[in-house]
Amino acid sequence: MKEQETYMQLMMSFANVQKNMVRFIQKSAMDKGLSIPQYSILMTISHCSEMTQKTVGEKTFLPKSTLSQAVDGLVKEGYLNRQQVVCNRREMMLSLSEKGQQLVDNFHSQEDGLYQVFKAASEQFTAEQIKELLDAHQKISTYLTRVELEVTNK
């Protein structure tokens, strides 16, 4: 196999995994009456106890208007708490409400949801294979981030 074909095959492999993950995310979000941005926001915040809206935007790459609209909907539905940051009144702090945490927990335990399906798919690998896969992904991610920063700062 040519070197170029190998790299293209690897790139397409990442794209296929991502495409399949998005399908599960779309279904889970739709089943709960959420948009993809709302799902992304909930999952991003679930890894911390709280996070500023600006940080959520940076982590999700959502445009400010989309982020604001999605957050408004999540607050209105009772999934998110939103408070002004004490030392910066223009900044908003977001956290999951109890109802929001229950929803995230439900996504994780959903039998046909991304988490459970991905867990089942991962069980075919040994612990060593998973470690190697994570290391390889981290190296690729770190490299792409570095190159992106170099290009952006030119």
Give me the DSSP letters along 112-134: TSHHHHHHHHHTTS-HHHHHHHH
- Walk along the chain (154 residues) and give the pLDDT tens digit of each residue: 688 899 999 999 999 999 999 999 999 999 999 999 999 999 999 999 899 999 999 999 999 999 999 999 999 999 999 999 888 888 999 999 999 999 999 999 999 999 999 999 999 999 999 999 999 999 999 999 999 888 888 7
Alpha helices in the chain, H assignment, sequence order: 3-31, 36-45, 53-60, 64-76, 98-109, 114-122, 127-152
Secondary structure (3-state) at 33: coil
Tokens of 93: 């702090």
Q: What are phi and psi of 96, to 5 degrees?
A: -70, 135
The pLDDT of residue 52 is 96
> Is residue 92 helix, strand or coil?
strand
Cα dihedral 123/126/130/131 (nearest 10): 150
Domains defined along the chain, listed by start: 3-123 (1.10.10.10)
pLDDT score for 1: 67
What tokens appear for 50 in the block?
A: 């709280």
- At 6, list the tokens: 């190998």
Q: What is d(CA 42, CA 86) in angstroms, rounded to the nearest whole number? A: 23
For residue 32, report the phi and psi dihedrals to the nearest 5 degrees: -100, 5
